[in-house]
Chains A and B, each alone.
Chain A
């Protein structure tokens, strides 16, 4: 399991219902079931990953964030997780709304487009930035909705979501040291991880 998945697992209370959207091979699901006794299920768009996960006994269905969340009832889950995918969905705002409709909490991670390396590349070279995180050329990238940490915070405020916890994470998934200043995190954090809740969901 990736290190940032451990950070996500740390946000999830034991014996809760979890939907992992874009669950890949289901490593987080497996961890949550075995270590936290969670009822954890997944949605994955890549059929090879789905087959791999189901062949390991994990409840994963083929689907994607844009089209399949609408079919779930309200409050079906305690947590809905979206890992490193928000920037690649067709309608990020609608997906977040669905996540916080069917789940009481949403856990969202995404690569931060505000990272200093991207800013410097844009400024000095005048070209779309290419880094280890943003590593596909503009015409091939699936990341059609890049955003910065500050952009995301603005969206959460506009939509009325409460940010219960946030952290910056480096590419290896290690928690980055920018814990107090969101502006520094926006400059130096490669990935961002948020725990959101609806206003009517009590703080845990």
Chain B
């Protein structure tokens, strides 16, 4: 399909690290490309940098138009001049995660097999972890000459990266905002991911992950995966408000009386649209690689089962944010992080934003959320001695 080709031909701002990375799985991945975008100006003292970590299906295009869809950046309501993450004050960096499909090294990147043939990694791409993603970001931060980030901010899987940053590079993070996230992927989280993956595997165009050979993509499977996942990002109240039980005539079949699918609920139409637009910008193998990284995430397990241990002695200022109607990463999970931080007497703010928009609320208009981010970053900047 053309879309694969067009995706492959896109060029993204990136930096190549020839020495690569040693991954948690034991594999040494080299070279490693990290694609990224920056906004604002790095101060002379290089002390005003904020790293934004994107979620599962996000990318580095936080605040400028997406090169494939043309849509505004995924957090353009939050990052920009005068906005809560104010690019007039701060230098904002966002990198495509390792394993992604927007320019950073991932399953779609080419590699040379042992027999010398060059082809995309596909399902042969090594298993990566959230910590591997963070290590790749650290390479970029070093490359940019930044010793300490004023803040690391991210929602959902981005929040996992924030937590991993504070655990792996505590001295490099002055302030951390894990949003709508969890210290580990729960059985329920893993279960949803597994259904997504099975939908991809079941697509006849999946071809065991070597779909590029047939010039196809498992679009249907990936779309179903996205549709299912999208339901988990919304609350029942949000679905009801947006769609209720409204129906519309299915074009072309409307005239057949009594047809089983002669009409379509608006929520079905919405999900189909979400699914079909997603496959135009995302790679199925990336989806598998990244969802697996999320499944493996368990901050406590990385530290002998003690979730407090990675934070012992931390001087990072934390602000944990959850949303009242988020059932994918509920407040109870966020509270586990807050209490782990309490046990080491860390400096922690913890807010549950009252919202009926579900997990997606962190991407949507929530004035209290905006105020919290703006205020916390302003406080962090003041304590860091940044005018």
Within 8 A of A (CB), among B189-229: none
Chain A residue total in the interface (Cβ 8 A):
21
A58–B371 Cα gap in the complex (Å)? 12
| Cα A60 to Cα B319 with chains together (Å) | 9
> With A57-B378, A57-B380, A61-B348 known to touch, is A51 a contact of B342 (CB < 8 Å)?
no
B314–chain A nearest beta-carbon distance, Å:
13
Known: A61-B349, A72-B342. A55 touches B375 (CB 8 A): yes
Nearest Cβ on chain B to A14's Cβ, whole angstroms: 17
Given A56, A63, A71, which contacts B343 in the complex, CB threshold below 8 Å? A71
Tell me the nearest residue of chain A to B344, going by C-beta: A73
Contact of B376 among A47, A54, A72 (CB under 8 A): A54
Q: Nearest Cβ in chain A — how far from B147, in angstroms?
A: 23
CB distance from B374 to the nearest CB of A (A): 7
When chains A and B are docked, how far (Å) is the Cα of A203 from the Cα of B24? 52
Tell whether, in the assembled complex, residue B375 and residue A62 are in contact, meaning their CB atoms are under 8 Å apart: no
Verify if B119 is at the interface (C-beta below 8 Å from A). no
Query: How far, in whole Å, are A41 and B320 apart by their CA atoms in the complex?
Result: 15
Q: Chain A residues with Cβ under 8 A from B319's Cβ?
A: 54
Residues of chain B contacted by A146 (CB below 8 angstroms):
none
Which segment, of B87-95, B103-111, B350-358, faces chain A? Answer: B350-358
Q: Inside 8 A of A62's CB, which chain B residues have their CB?
A: 350-352
One of B338, B372, B379, B382 near A51 (C-beta < 8 A) = B372
Contacting B at CB under 8 A, from A51-87, are 51, 54-63, 68, 71-73, 76-77
**Which residues of the partner chain A approach B320 to less than 8 Å between Cβ atoms?**
61
Kindly identify, within residues 69 to 117 of chain A, every residue whose CB is under 8 Å from any CB belonging to chain B: 71-73, 76-77
Query: In the complex, A51 Cα to B322 Cα: how many Å?
Result: 12
Task: Type the 1/0 row for B317-341, where 1 means its CB is closer than 8 Å to any CB of A.
Answer: 1011000000000000000001100
CA distance A144 to B317 in the complex (A): 35
Q: Chain B contacts of A68 at CB under 8 A?
A: 339, 342
Query: Within 8 Å of chain A (Cβ to Cβ): is B306?
Result: no
A167 near B: Cβ within 8 Å?
no
B345 lies within 8 A of A76 (CB): yes
Question: In this complex, which of B349, B350, B378 has the most chain A Cβ atoms within 10 angstroms of its Cβ?
Answer: B349
Q: Does B368 contact A (CB under 8 A)?
A: yes
A68 to B340, CA, bound (A): 11
- Name B379's contact: one of A56, A71, A77 (CB within 8 Å): A56
Set of chain B residues within 8 Å of A73, measured between Cβ atoms = 343-345
Determine if A71 and B339 form an interchain contact, defined as CB atoms under 8 angstroms apart.
yes
A102, chain B: closest CB distance, angstroms: 8
Q: Is A196 an interface residue (CB 8 A)?
A: no
Answer whether residue A50 sits at the interface, using C-beta atoms and an 8 A cutoff.
Answer: yes
* A-chain residues with CB within 8 Å of residue B348 when the two chains form the complex: 41, 59, 61
- A76 cross-chain contacts in B, Cβ below 8 A: 345
Instruction: Say yes or no: A47-B354 contact (C-beta < 8 A), given A59-B347, A61-B349, A72-B342.
Output: yes
Contact call A56/B344, Cβ cutoff below 8 A: no
* Residue contact A61 to B338, C-beta cutoff 8 Å: yes
Q: B371 touches which one: A55, A71, A72 (CB < 8 A)?
A: A55
CA distance A60 to B342 in the complex (A): 12
Query: Across the two chains, which residue of chain A brings its CB closest to B383?
Result: A57
Do residues A58 and B347 form an inter-chain contact, with CB atoms below 8 A?
no
Contacts of A58 in B (CB 8 A): 349, 379
**Can you list 11 contacts pairing A with B, beta carbon distance less than 8 Å?**
A55-B372, A55-B374, A56-B379, A57-B379, A57-B382, A61-B320, A61-B351, A62-B352, A63-B350, A68-B342, A71-B342
Kindly list the 3 A-B residue pairs having the minimum CB-CB distance in the complex, ordered from nearest: A57-B379, A55-B375, A61-B350
